[in-house]
Amino acid sequence: MIKIVSRAITASAVSLFLVSAASAASGNSADLLRYIPADTPYVFALTTPLPSKLADKLEPTVDELLQAYQRILRHAMAEQLVKMSSEEDAADDAEQFREVAEEVLSLMSLEGIRGAGIGRDSAFALYGNGLLPVLRIELTDPDLFDAALARIEEKAGESLLIGETDGQPYKYAELENVKLLIATLDEQAIITAVPARFNDAQVAMALGVKKPRRNLKNSKTLRTIRKEYGFSDYFTGFIDNERIAEIFTGKVTGLDNELFAVLDYQTPDLTETCSTEIMEMVGIVPRIVFGYSEITADIVESAMIIEMRKDIAEGLANVSAAVPGLGLDTGGLLSIGFGLNPIALREFYEARLDAMEADPYECENFADLQAGVAKGREVLNQPIPPVVYNFRGIVANIADIKGMDLSSKTPPESIDASILFAVENAESLITMAAMMDPQIAALNLLPDGKPVRLNFTKLAEIADEAFAAMSANALSIAIGEGAENNSTSMLVAESADPVPILSISMNSARYYAMVGEAMAQESTDEDAKKMPVAVREAIRDVMMLSGSMYDRMSVDVRFTARGVEISGRMMLSD
């Protein structure tokens, strides 16, 4: 039964983490960083209270979301109970499992979370003590947290084991060669897993009873990240790829040595050449950082930056291409587009091949990669039609869709949409198409930006109006309401600055509602496992509630001199 308790605790920890993420952090939560080693390979930390107006706006929907997730989990619990009840002499275990599961599910609400000592302003951090994950959450009242844990133990009919390190008591469950540790310390809850053979000193370090001498509070790491990328201190994190690579290539601490022993993992016996070249390879993407740049009651802006080596980043920065309308939110249902300069991409690829020829990899682990240089040259020597190098990108805007049913695969009755193809010397593309299709030839489409009506049968089935227009470097097609104006306005639209390589924006409430309604329908696939109506409806509610929190969402991906930058913007609903 101890396994049931430990699994329940794990599920509870995940629930607490998710709800805390939707909440905030206390004014003193920078102290949380004292427990995080400065050389941690990863950290996700929320350390500053969210604006009260934002929390007020989000909490009711978060509570409804948790209730919908409860319904989904209750179905999974019911299935497990049926399975357990069918086993011989398992009735008592099944009833105990039900009681434990009910206790855990009771935590999946704002009331349940608050009742477990997790406040609206509780900070949290998920980080690595070496590779081992540690979840640390601030508590408003440690006694409430301990009481919630005791209720789970009581329903399970068995208590977790008690340990002590450096005078600090903690609870734990032994699962084969691993211990799940739970403790309350300095008004914080700590949940982590460690190898069972950890000694007291190692357990003390994992729980933070002994604070690391060098920690993130006195380190400049997070402050430097925030300053460089304009992040607020609401939420900041990073994944240090170089540190992780060092661990797996031999620079292992005592903590990770024990972990590898449990996993029966042997660090590779690498030559000095291989070690150097592996780290050089990892150095192409040494770190990933992320955080919130702006948070108000109306807007949440975030970013993730995949940091890259300077020469790689600068080479990729030239690959993006400006495309009319790319990166601009048109306010419709969905807008998606990308801009790419094939010539610049070829030059970047060629430069990588040149670099690998000038300084070839000598490590046997990279033999296939090095052999690929010759194959890469062969690819570059293949003839490519000029139209490929003239291509620059696509932008598609869907303003509205009527009558479409994703669940039954019913096509839309009507669509208001437009699409633009950015092509250098667009007229040559139309000339080629006209040679293959008399209808296109009859359009007499010229690169003058003037709209031309499209009388195509297929388009008439979904739109009353359809127009095309062309400029020297782009071709646009628009259908539905406002098609004539949209076909011309797309050609002269600005591109976002700096230029994204990929951009997506959407009416999140409507998009998620469409997807949710589709998921609520019974699958027509005879081979698919049938899902109960209640579960399908709960999934639909999760999707619709998720979308209802935001009016619009957008994501832009850019290649910059710092690496790949992925920025998100969410406009919150009233």
Please tell me whether the peptide bond between 498 and the residue prior to it is cis, using omega within 30 degrees of 0.
yes
* Most confident by average pLDDT, 377-381, 417-421, 430-434, 436-440: 417-421
pLDDT score of 133 more than 60:
yes
* Most confident by average pLDDT, 176-180, 391-395, 423-427: 391-395
- The predicted-structure confidence for 154-180, as pLDDT tens digits, reads as follows 888 888 999 999 899 999 998 878 899
- The predicted-structure confidence for 521-549, as pLDDT tens digits, reads as follows 776 666 566 778 888 888 888 888 888 88
Q: Which parts of 230-320 fold into alpha helices (H)?
A: 241-248, 254-263, 272-282, 310-316
Query: Contact at 8 Å (CB) between 8 and 156?
Result: yes
pLDDT of the residue at 307: 98
Q: Pick the residue with more confidence: 154 or 13? A: 154
d(CA 281, CA 356): 12
**Non-local CB neighbours of 570 within 8 Å, separated by 6+ positions:** 299, 300, 301, 508, 550, 552, 553
Q: What's the whole-number mean pLDDT along residues 450-478? A: 88
d(CA 5, CA 123): 25
pLDDT of the residue at 14: 44
For the ranges 10-19, 356-365, 468-477, 557-566, the lowest mean pLDDT is seen at 10-19
pLDDT of the residue at 259: 77
pLDDT score of 28 more than 50:
no
Q: What's the whole-number mean pLDDT along residues 193-217? A: 89
Q: Which parts of 504-532 fold into alpha helices (H)?
A: 508-520
pLDDT band at 407 (very low <50, low <70, confident <90, very high): low
pLDDT score of 334 more than 50:
yes
Residue 252 in tokens: 């292992």
Residue 406 in tokens: 């994703």
End-to-end CA distance of the chain: 47
How far, in Å, are 100, 210, 280, 427 from residue 92 at the CA level?
Answer: 12, 42, 58, 77
CA trace torsion 32, 33, 35, 39 (10° rounding): 160
| Look-up of token digits 């797996």 | 248
d(CA 468, CA 563): 37
- Quote the mean pLDDT of the chain: 86
Q: What's the whole-number mean pLDDT along residues 421-429? A: 90
Residue 539 in tokens: 């999934």
pLDDT band at 385 (very low <50, low <70, confident <90, very high): confident
For the ranges 62-76, 83-97, 185-199, 239-253, the lowest mean pLDDT is seen at 83-97
pLDDT of the residue at 510: 87
Using alpha carbons, select from 112, 113, 137 the residue that is nearest to residue 123.
137
pLDDT of the residue at 561: 93
Q: What's the whole-number mean pLDDT along residues 440-453? A: 90
For the ranges 260-274, 388-402, 469-483, the lowest mean pLDDT is seen at 260-274
pLDDT of the residue at 325: 96
Using alpha carbons, select from 518, 511, 516 the residue that is nearest to residue 552.
511
pLDDT score of 199 more than 70:
yes
- The predicted-structure confidence for 487-499, as pLDDT tens digits, reads as follows 999 999 999 999 9
DSSP, res 174 = E
pLDDT score of 79 more than 90:
no
Please tell me whether the peptide bond between 411 and the residue prior to it is cis, using omega within 30 degrees of 0.
no
Query: Contact at 8 Å (CB) between 3 and 175?
Result: yes
Residue 569 in tokens: 């913007």
Q: What's the whole-number mean pLDDT along residues 409-436? A: 86
Domain ranges of the chain: 2-235, 334-343+387-572
